Amino acid sequence: MKKRFLLFLICSFFFLLPNVFAVDKSLKIYDDADLLPDSEEAILKSQIDQFITTYDMDMVVVTTMINPYGSVEQFATRFYEDNGFGLNEHKDGILFVIDRHLGADDAYILTTGEALRVYSDDRIDAIFDDISDAKYNNEGYYGMIAAFIQSSSDFAKEGVPAVNKNTYIDSNGNMQYKRTVPWLFLIIVSLVVASVTTFVLVKKNKMVKKATTAKAYLDQNSIQYGRKEDHFAHTHTSSSYVPRNTGGSSSGGGRVGGTTSHGGHGGGGRRL
Amino acid sequence: MRGGTLDHTCPNCDAVLKFNPHGQNWVCEYCKGQFTKEQIEASEAKKGHVLNETAEPVKMEKNAEGMDVYSCPNCGAQIVADENTTATFCVYCKSTAILKNKLIGEFNPVSVIPFYKTKEDAIEAFKSIGKGKPFMPKEFSDKKNIGEMKGVYIPFWLYDYHVNGFLEAEGRKVSTWRSGDYIYTKTDTYAVYRDAQMDYHRIPVDGSTHFDDDMMNSIEPFDYQGLVDFSHSYLSGFLAEKYDVSSEDAQKDAETRARNSTTNALRDSIVGYSEVDIRNANHQLQSTKSDYVLLPVWMLNIKYKDKIYMFAMNGQTGKMIGDIPIDKNKVIRYWFILFIATFVISLIIWWIGGIL
């Protein structure tokens, strides 16, 4: 009984964990790790506001030294959801978090709603590349976050990439591929089935056929083989180069997660 | 009076007997008596009545169309027949008219398969010819379209062959496998030899130019268990022809069929290969026997929309064949419905596939 009660308490702790990061959702930039001076925060805030206004999509930037959720992905998800970020019906928005609780710059980009469609795997990789470039160019956290905002804006300006053109966001916030009816294929199949069947039935009307064999008159018991030989003559082996399908592409160094679209969120992470 | 004809007469009432295909006996249409051949012969011997083999229609002259005109020995009416007709009947007195001088010597058949199917059977078979043929015009198989209809004993040559068959072929076993980024294909080639003896019995070839060879092929097979020694008695009530294609000419078709079947039989013994190419087939055929027989066929002329369609029914087995005209409107309608149905079903399958 005691064990059950303990289990209940543990479960309650995790599931009913209060929003430990309740914030003013209008600020959009939350430098809890104190990586930016106020002046830079103000500049970045204005850029974020510009993004939100232009692309009708929320943008949030978080830095933290504490992560009670274990993974940076979980942190990003809880921060976004618990504080009610996102615009429109599907909570469209993009969140960038730098988690320093392990002493390194574990970053994650979380996409929600329409942002799932705009920021494909490749685009998130590209954004991380821009952020990494800023870091290695010693532009500091300001430069990294500015690179995130700039790169995100560039892609938002380009709109939905070709790879996601045939998608939509369903009522659960998940990205789904639209199923387009393969009209041409169905027409060809129907044409072939109708034509072949009709041809076979038309042929049934022609009953008069020339006999070319006499199988019905062959005495099967009379067949006596004198020679029944199979001699191996030669062999030939050829090869053709057909590379295996490796089943996916590898990501750049430091990538800790791929883009996902379960639970209404997508995104990817990288240790910078 | 009857003694002058080639018909059997009823032991009871002396009326002309007709051959009854269903009972394989002879029936009297007047007193309804039914008799076997032995019963009739016994009765005729008792009465001192024998088939007058010398009584045959007297050939008078050729008519304007070049047809032979005979005088019926029974009633004196004219009987018109072409040069290959060996049995017909007088349209006035219905007496069988066997043109005996055409059934002697080399034209005397060894055996005959009597008719097992009647005229009524042929009509019924024609009426149901449209089963499984949705494009047949609706009224085509109507009985009223049946024009001339005749039961004919058609001359056939039956050939027996002993064949020494030889076949040389190339067999290939192909296997494929993957190793790394390469797919390998290995082909083992074999030289294959087959040598066998086999026998063919009674390959039939139509011996009359009056009947379409392909049509006669199509009504095969006949059940040769039904062959009996030839007797004029079986011809009563039917037409009969003598051959006008010699055995030497006819056997080319039989040889071709035997050669093809020998190749097929040897080819069927080559197993275990992915591909087989025949390089050489050389068969020695030895004709061991050829018989001249008469086989029963019902011939039907079908008149439909001012065109004549020929149909034939195997008079022994009832197999009916003929080329059936096609109703183009039905074809178009059927194709369109099938197209729409396939399209809708494909769409539903695609849609269900999406749900699952």
Percentage of residues in chain B having pLDDT higher than 70: 84
**B24-34 per-position pLDDT tens digit:** 888 888 888 88
Residue-number span of the structural domain to which B102 is assigned: 2-109
**B80-115 per-position pLDDT tens digit:** 667 677 777 766 666 666 666 666 677 788 899 999
If asked whether residues B259 and B126 sit together in one domain, one would say yes
Percentage of residues in chain A having pLDDT higher than 90: 53
- Considering CB atoms only, which of B202, B321, B338 is closest to A197? B338
Q: Name residues 336-355 of chain B within 8 A of A (Cβ).
A: 336, 338-340, 342-343, 346-347, 350, 354
Lowest mean pLDDT among A56-70, A106-120, B26-40: B26-40
Q: Is pLDDT of A62 > 90?
A: yes
If asked whether residues B65 and B130 sit together in one domain, one would say no
The pLDDT value recorded for residue A13 is: 46
pLDDT band with cut points at 50, 70 and 90 for residue A232 = very high
If asked whether residues B214 and B321 sit together in one domain, one would say yes
Q: Is pLDDT of B203 > 90?
A: yes
In Å, how far are A204, B3, B113, B204 from A207, measured between CA atoms? 6, 45, 24, 19
If asked whether residues B135 and B209 sit together in one domain, one would say yes
Chain A: closest CA distance from residue B292 (Å):
17
If asked whether residues B10 and B83 sit together in one domain, one would say yes
If asked whether residues B153 and B54 sit together in one domain, one would say no
- Considering CB atoms only, which of A208, A215, A226 is closest to B264? A215
Q: Is pLDDT of A213 > 60?
A: yes
B59 lies in a domain? Answer: yes
If asked whether residues B151 and B79 sit together in one domain, one would say no
Lowest mean pLDDT among A155-164, A199-208, B48-57, B299-308: B48-57
If asked whether residues B166 and B50 sit together in one domain, one would say no
Work out how many domains chain B is built from and give that number: 2
Chain B: closest CA distance from residue A184 (Å):
11
If asked whether residues B74 and B139 sit together in one domain, one would say no
pLDDT band with cut points at 50, 70 and 90 for residue B234 = confident
The pLDDT value recorded for residue A249 is: 34
B337 lies in a domain? Answer: no
If asked whether residues B238 and B320 sit together in one domain, one would say yes
The pLDDT value recorded for residue A250 is: 33
B355 lies in a domain? Answer: no
Q: Give the residue-averaged pLDDT of A12-34.
A: 73
The ipTM of this complex is: 0.82
- Residue pair B199/B162 in contact (Cβ under 8 Å)? The answer is yes
Q: Which residues contact B259 (CB under 8 A, 6 or more apart)?
A: B163, B281, B283, B285
B47 lies in a domain? Answer: yes
Percentage of residues in chain B having pLDDT higher than 90: 51
Our CA angle for B115, B213, B237, nearest 5°, is 25
Search chain A and give the residue with CA nearest B219: A208
Cα separation of B304 and B140, whole Å?
7
In Å, how far are A234, B38, B173, B275 from B183, measured between CA atoms? 20, 79, 16, 20
Q: Which residues contact A194 (CB under 8 A, 6 or more apart)?
A: B335, B336, B338, B339, B342
Q: Is pLDDT of A9 > 80?
A: no
If asked whether residues B45 and B175 sit together in one domain, one would say no
Mean pLDDT in chain A?
A: 84
- What's the topology of domain A23-177+253-271? Diaminopimelate Epimerase; Chain A, domain 1 (3.10.310)
